[in-house]
Amino acid sequence: MPRAVLDESKLHPAIRERVAGLHADLVREVQQAVAAHAVVVVGMGGNPFVKKARRALDAAGIAHHDLDYGNYLGPWRRRNALKMWTGWPTFPMVFVRGTLIGGAAETEALLASGELQRLLA
Protein backbone atom coordinates (compact mmCIF):
# COMPACT_ATOMS: atom_id res chain seq x y z
CA MET A 1 0.00 0.00 0.00
CA PRO A 2 1.68 3.23 -1.08
CA ARG A 3 1.62 6.05 1.42
CA ALA A 4 0.44 9.50 0.46
CA VAL A 5 3.26 11.84 -0.48
CA LEU A 6 2.58 15.21 -2.02
CA ASP A 7 3.60 15.02 -5.65
CA GLU A 8 6.47 17.33 -6.56
CA SER A 9 4.33 18.86 -9.30
CA LYS A 10 2.07 20.16 -6.51
CA LEU A 11 4.94 22.17 -5.01
CA HIS A 12 5.38 25.64 -6.41
CA PRO A 13 8.71 25.83 -8.29
CA ALA A 14 9.92 28.59 -5.99
CA ILE A 15 9.89 26.25 -2.95
CA ARG A 16 10.97 22.92 -4.47
CA GLU A 17 14.67 23.39 -3.72
CA ARG A 18 13.95 24.41 -0.14
CA VAL A 19 11.74 21.36 0.42
CA ALA A 20 14.28 19.01 -1.17
CA GLY A 21 17.15 20.39 0.86
CA LEU A 22 15.43 20.63 4.25
CA HIS A 23 17.90 19.01 6.66
CA ALA A 24 19.10 16.79 3.83
CA ASP A 25 22.41 16.34 5.65
CA LEU A 26 20.63 14.51 8.46
CA VAL A 27 18.72 12.26 6.07
CA ARG A 28 21.95 11.49 4.17
CA GLU A 29 23.72 10.60 7.40
CA VAL A 30 21.00 8.08 8.27
CA GLN A 31 20.93 6.71 4.71
CA GLN A 32 24.70 6.18 4.83
CA ALA A 33 24.48 4.41 8.20
CA VAL A 34 21.65 2.19 6.96
CA ALA A 35 23.73 1.26 3.90
CA ALA A 36 26.80 0.48 6.01
CA HIS A 37 25.28 -1.47 8.94
CA ALA A 38 22.91 -4.43 9.18
CA VAL A 39 20.95 -2.89 12.06
CA VAL A 40 20.59 0.82 12.77
CA VAL A 41 18.64 2.39 15.61
CA VAL A 42 17.85 6.08 15.12
CA GLY A 43 16.80 7.79 18.31
CA MET A 44 16.99 10.74 20.61
CA GLY A 45 18.28 11.26 24.12
CA GLY A 46 15.89 10.71 27.00
CA ASN A 47 13.44 8.59 25.02
CA PRO A 48 12.64 5.38 26.94
CA PHE A 49 11.45 3.56 23.81
CA VAL A 50 14.82 4.07 22.12
CA LYS A 51 16.49 2.51 25.17
CA LYS A 52 13.96 -0.33 25.14
CA ALA A 53 14.70 -1.20 21.51
CA ARG A 54 18.46 -1.13 22.10
CA ARG A 55 18.17 -3.29 25.23
CA ALA A 56 16.07 -5.84 23.32
CA LEU A 57 18.66 -6.02 20.53
CA ASP A 58 21.47 -6.30 23.09
CA ALA A 59 19.66 -9.10 24.92
CA ALA A 60 19.30 -10.98 21.62
CA GLY A 61 23.02 -10.51 20.92
CA ILE A 62 22.35 -8.42 17.81
CA ALA A 63 24.92 -5.73 17.09
CA HIS A 64 23.47 -2.37 16.11
CA HIS A 65 24.70 1.05 15.05
CA ASP A 66 23.11 3.85 17.05
CA LEU A 67 22.41 7.42 15.95
CA ASP A 68 20.90 9.97 18.33
CA TYR A 69 19.62 13.40 17.41
CA GLY A 70 18.93 15.75 20.28
CA ASN A 71 16.36 15.17 23.00
CA TYR A 72 12.88 16.30 23.91
CA LEU A 73 14.03 19.90 24.17
CA GLY A 74 15.70 20.11 20.75
CA PRO A 75 16.39 19.95 17.79
CA TRP A 76 12.93 18.63 16.96
CA ARG A 77 12.74 20.45 13.61
CA ARG A 78 15.76 18.55 12.29
CA ARG A 79 14.26 15.25 13.46
CA ASN A 80 11.07 16.08 11.56
CA ALA A 81 13.04 15.64 8.34
CA LEU A 82 13.56 11.98 9.28
CA LYS A 83 9.88 11.55 10.04
CA MET A 84 8.93 13.06 6.69
CA TRP A 85 11.48 10.91 4.86
CA THR A 86 10.39 7.62 6.45
CA GLY A 87 6.75 8.31 7.18
CA TRP A 88 7.35 6.82 10.67
CA PRO A 89 5.98 9.19 13.33
CA THR A 90 8.06 8.29 16.38
CA PHE A 91 11.48 7.32 17.67
CA PRO A 92 13.19 4.96 17.56
CA MET A 93 13.36 4.15 13.91
CA VAL A 94 14.89 0.70 13.56
CA PHE A 95 16.31 -0.39 10.23
CA VAL A 96 17.27 -3.98 9.43
CA ARG A 97 19.20 -4.61 6.21
CA GLY A 98 17.99 -1.28 4.84
CA THR A 99 14.33 -1.79 5.69
CA LEU A 100 12.51 0.27 8.31
CA ILE A 101 10.87 -2.26 10.64
CA GLY A 102 9.29 0.28 13.01
CA GLY A 103 10.04 1.18 16.60
CA ALA A 104 10.56 -0.59 19.92
CA ALA A 105 7.31 -2.57 19.94
CA GLU A 106 7.83 -3.80 16.39
CA THR A 107 11.45 -4.71 17.15
CA GLU A 108 10.40 -6.72 20.19
CA ALA A 109 7.66 -8.50 18.22
CA LEU A 110 10.02 -9.42 15.38
CA LEU A 111 12.60 -10.67 17.88
CA ALA A 112 9.99 -12.77 19.69
CA SER A 113 8.77 -14.34 16.45
CA GLY A 114 12.31 -15.00 15.21
CA GLU A 115 11.69 -12.97 12.06
CA LEU A 116 14.32 -10.36 12.87
CA GLN A 117 16.93 -13.08 13.28
CA ARG A 118 15.85 -14.57 9.91
CA LEU A 119 16.20 -11.16 8.27
CA LEU A 120 19.82 -11.07 9.47
CA ALA A 121 20.67 -14.69 8.54
- CATH number of the domain enclosing 21: 3.40.30.10
Question: Band of the pLDDT at 3, cuts 50, 70, 90?
Answer: confident
With the CA atoms of 28, 37, 52 and 94 taken in that order, what torsion angle do they form, in degrees rounded to the nearest 10?
50
Distance CA 40, CA 33 (A): 7
| Residue 3 resides in a domain | no
Residue 90, SS3? coil
pLDDT at 21: 94
Distance CA 30, CA 35 (A): 9
Segments forming the whole domain that contains residue 28 = 8-120
pLDDT tens-digit readout, 42-99: 999 999 999 999 999 999 999 999 999 999 999 999 999 999 999 999 999 999 999 9
| Residue 2 resides in a domain | no
